[in-house]
Structure 1
Amino acid sequence: MGGLNVMPAALTPATDRLVLAELAEANRPAQLPLVTRIAEILAASPAVTHLLVRGSLASGTADRLSDVDFVVGVHDAHLPAYLAALDDLMSIEAGALLPGWRDSIVADLGGIGMVFLLPHDGKLQQTDLYLAPASKIPALRRTIATASLLDRPTPSITPPQIRRAEEFITETTARPKSCTELLIEHLVLAVLLHKRIRRGQRFVAYAEWHMLHTATKDLIKAALAPASRFWGWYRLDEEIALTPIGRESLADLETAITGPAIPDAADVDAALDRVIGLAERACPTALDGLRDSLTAYRTYLELA
C-alpha cells in the first residue's frame, strides 16, 4: 500500500472535520446514520481530499429506498492504491457484504464508480462511491449537484501525477470483468431491480433487466470462451455450444432472454437462482469465498 493509511483515525484539524449538520438539517434522511458512518470511514484516509454527497440525498428528495451516493476525491498520486484497498476497507470497516461492483451505469465523470451493498436497518443498502482524482473535482462540481462534507487542503498535484491517474482510470474501466466480478454484478443488479419494481420505475427496470441478461452472456463467455474474438452476442452457438456445459449455459441464457421484457420480483429471484446454478457448472471458482456472503445476501433479500 506504499504507506497509504485507509483506516479510520481521529480528524483533529478543523479543516478536516466532516460537515454533516447542513445535510441533516436539509432533509434528515433515514440513511443519515449510514451516511455519517461511511463518511467518517472514507475521510479517515489522508489520501482523500474531498467528500461530496450527490443524488437524492444532496437534493433533499431521498426516500427510504434511495441509495447513498458519494463522490470521493482522492489525490491523483494515491488513486491506484486507494482503489486497491477499497474492498478491504468497505468490508472490514463498513461491513459490506460483497466486494464492490465496478459500476457500468454511472455517467463518466473522469473517475471510477464502485457499488457496495451494506446491511443497514434490516436491509441491504446500496452505497455508490465515485472515486475521482482530486484534479477533476472542480470540473465535476460544475457538472453535477453535490453537497460538500469534506474539503481538505490538497497537496500540490503535478502534471505527471494527473496523467498517471488518467491512464490508470482508462486501464481500469477497459479491463474485462472476471467471472467473480460478473457474478457480483448480477447480485447488485438484482437489488437495483427489486428497488425499481417497488417504485414502479418500469423504464429503468427494463434497462437494468437487459443489463442483467448481458451480464449473464458475459459470464458465460468469460467462463467458456475467454479468448473469444467475437464482440457481444455474436457467434455464441459456434463458440459455446461445443460442450454439454456450454449447451446448458446457452439454454439458461435462452430462458433469460425469452422471459418478460419487464420483470416482477419473482422473475428477478428466478434469474438469480439460474445464474448461480450456471456459475456452479461453468465457473465454480467464481463462488470461492462468496458462499457465506450469498447466504446472508439471500436472507436480506427475503427481508426487504
Structure 2
Amino acid sequence: MPTLQLAALTFANRPSQLPLLSRLADILAASPAVTHLMVRGSLAHGTADRLSDVDFVVGVQDAELPAFVEALDDLMSIEAGALLPGWRDTIVADLGGVGMVFLVPDDGHLHQIDLYLAPAARIPRLRATVATALLLDREPAPTTTEEAAVAERFAAEFFAQPRTCAELLIEHLVLAVLLHKRIKRGQRFIAYSEWHRLHTATKDLIKTALAPTSRFWGWYQLREEIAITPIGRTCLGDLETAISGPAVPLAADVDAAVERTLALVERACPEALSGLENAIAAYRAYLELM
C-alpha cells in the first residue's frame, strides 16, 4: 500500500471530513491502475466547512481508464458504502477525463464525493491548471499513442451515452443534496442554476420514459408528444408544478421536488426503482437530517 501524503493537508485544514477523505484515499490508492490522487476544491484550499464535499482528481493509467470507470460503482458501493450508483457529473468542467458524484454516509451525515478520473498522460497538464493538494504520485507506465487515443475516445463518449430513467432519478437525488447545501450557505445564484438543472432533469426523465424516440430537442413539442395519454398528462402536470415554483427554492421546495420525482418514476417508469428501494429509504432519512 503506498504512503499517502496527508500531513500537510491535515495541518492546513483539520476538516471534519478528514477521516472520510483518508478512508476514500486508501480505497482508491489500492488499485494499481491509479497513478495520482489529488484533492481539490475547499479541502485543498483550507476553506472547507462541515457541508463541503470531498473532491478528488484521480489519475488512471490510460489503458485502464475504461475498465476502472466501469468498476467504479461496485468499488464505491462495496468498499466505500456509497448509497446510490454514481451520477455522471454534467456540472464539472471538462479536464480531459470523466466526472462522477457519489453520496456516501459517514458519521451520521450524507457526504457528496466528487471523483474526476483523468488519463495519467493528462495529469501534468491538469496539475498546471487546477489547484490541487497532492496525496499520491506514482510513476505511470509508459503510454502508447494508441492507449492515449483509447482513453481520449472513452472520455468523449462517456457523456454522450443516453441516460436511463434510473440515471435521471439519481441525478435528481444528487442535485437535491447539492441544493440543500447551497440554500444553507445562502448561495442563491448557484441554487438558481442547480434548481433549473433539476427541472431539466425532470423533463428529460419524462421524455426518456414516455417518448424515448423523440425527434425534438430539449423542451420543444412536449405537449404534442407527451400529453396523448393519461400518464403523460399527469407527468406534464408534475412538470408544470415544478417550473411554476420559486426561481430560488427553499429547503421545503427541494424536498417536495424529490417526492414528486419519486412518484413520477413510480408512475411512468417503475423499473427504474428496481434495487434502489432500500437506498432511497435511507436517502430520505439522511435528507431529513440535513
Question: Structure 1 length normalisation: TM-score?
Answer: 0.95
SS of the residue corresponding to residue 11 of structure 2 reads: helix
How far apart in 1 are the matches of 2:158 and 2:13? 36
**What is aligned with 1:182?**
168
* Residue 127, structure 1, aligned to residue 113, structure 2: yes
Pairing of 1:227-266 with structure 2 (within 5 A): 227-266=213-252
Moved over 3 A (4+): none
181, 198, 214: which one aligns with 2:184 = 198
SS of the residue corresponding to residue 241 of structure 2 reads: helix
**What is aligned with 1:213?**
199
How far apart in 2 are the matches of 1:218 and 1:143? 33
Pairing of 1:1-304 with structure 2 (within 5 A): 11=1, 16-304=2-290
Alpha-carbon offset, residue 262 of structure 1:
0.5
1:21-66 CA-to-partner distances (Å, cap 9, x unmatched) read 1110111111000000000000000000000000000010101110
How far apart in 2 are the matches of 1:247 and 1:142? 51
Alpha-carbon offset, residue 132 of structure 1:
0.4
How far apart in 2 are the matches of 1:190 and 1:47? 32
How far apart in 2 are the matches of 1:104 and 1:60? 26
How far apart in 2 are the matches of 1:179 and 1:136? 33
How far apart in 1 are the matches of 2:247 and 2:107? 32
How far apart in 1 are the matches of 2:160 and 2:128? 26
How far apart in 2 are the matches of 1:148 and 1:274? 42
How far apart in 2 are the matches of 1:27 and 1:244? 54
Aligned residues: 290
How far apart in 2 are the matches of 1:165 and 1:300? 36
How far apart in 1 are the matches of 2:19 and 2:189? 31
How far apart in 2 are the matches of 1:285 and 1:169? 28
Alpha-carbon offset, residue 17 of structure 1:
1.5
Identity %: 72
How far apart in 1 are the matches of 2:157 and 2:83? 26
**What is aligned with 1:7?**
none
Alpha-carbon offset, residue 173 of structure 1:
1.2
Q: Which amino acid aligns with 2:174?
A: V
Alpha-carbon offset, residue 176 of structure 1:
1.6
Alpha-carbon offset, residue 120 of structure 1:
1.4
How far apart in 2 are the matches of 1:301 and 1:250? 26
Q: Which amino acid aligns with 2:108?
A: G
How far apart in 2 are the matches of 1:75 and 1:178? 28
How far apart in 2 are the matches of 1:224 and 1:168? 29
SS of the residue corresponding to residue 174 of structure 1 reads: coil
Q: Which amino acid aligns with 2:9?
A: L
How far apart in 2 are the matches of 1:235 and 1:109? 34
How far apart in 1 are the matches of 2:210 and 2:117? 32
Q: Which amino acid aligns with 2:281?
A: T
Q: Which amino acid aligns with 2:53?
A: D
